Amino acid sequence: MHKFRLSWVIAWLLLFSGSSTKPPDQLKWRSLPETAIAYHNKKKPILIDLYTNWCGWCKVMDKKTYTDKNVVSYLNENFYVAKVNAETKKALSWQGKIYQFNSAYKSNDFAVFVTKGNLSYPTTVIFPVDGSEAQAIPGYLTPKEMEMLLKYFGEGKYGKMSFQEYSKGFVARW
């Protein structure tokens, strides 16, 4: 009987300790209004993933870059992140302005605004913490390529030194 109880306790511990593996961390994506409210309460840079439903590289970036544990951890700690479908026909509100679908560009005017009309997908858009103009980085970015970019903004170097100068002393850790 004593062996049965000990076996049961060990089996129970193995069962529950094995099934409690924590799922990988995920990005805390926000809507544009949620991002604006969070930024108003505590200043952090804002990263917007500008994508379209048909964009293959957008899907690859979602699968490989935005699930990378280092990217996820760094973004969740140091940025507010939002996903925006560039071709949404819904009105988008940002910084007191309403952006509508623009049939000439076949995109929402918000996408036109943050990319200065240079639409390309995916585009990573970063609003620096100092409130200055959005920085749009077009194209697919690997986690390794994201590291320097994220840290440049996340460590507050943007506006204090050029990206080229920052890159010379940058040591990758991911």
pLDDT tens-digit series, residues 65-121: 999 999 999 999 999 999 999 999 999 999 999 999 999 999 999 999 999 999 999
pLDDT of 8 higher than 90: no
Instruction: Please give the single-letter amino acid code of residue 100.
Output: Q
pLDDT of 15 higher than 80: no
- Integer Cα distance of 152 and 141 in angstroms: 15
pLDDT of 24 higher than 60: no
Pairing relation of β-strands 92-94 and 97-99?
Answer: antiparallel
pLDDT band at 2 (very low <50, low <70, confident <90, very high): low
pLDDT of 7 higher than 90: no
pLDDT band at 25 (very low <50, low <70, confident <90, very high): confident
Number of other CB atoms surrounding residue 10 within 10 Å: 10
Pairing relation of β-strands 107-108 and 123-127?
Answer: unpaired
Average pLDDT of the segment spanning 132-158: 97
* pLDDT value at residue 1: 53
Collect all residues with Cβ–Cβ distance below 8 Å to 79 and sequence separation of at least 6: 44, 45, 46, 47, 150, 153, 154
pTM comes to: 0.84
The pLDDT tens digits of the residues spanning 42-55 come to: 999 999 999 999 99
Average pLDDT of the segment spanning 134-140: 98
* pLDDT value at residue 23: 45
pLDDT of 19 higher than 80: no
Q: 104 and 53 in contact (C-beta within 8 Å)?
A: no
Sign for the CA dihedral angle at 163, 58, 120, 95 comes to negative
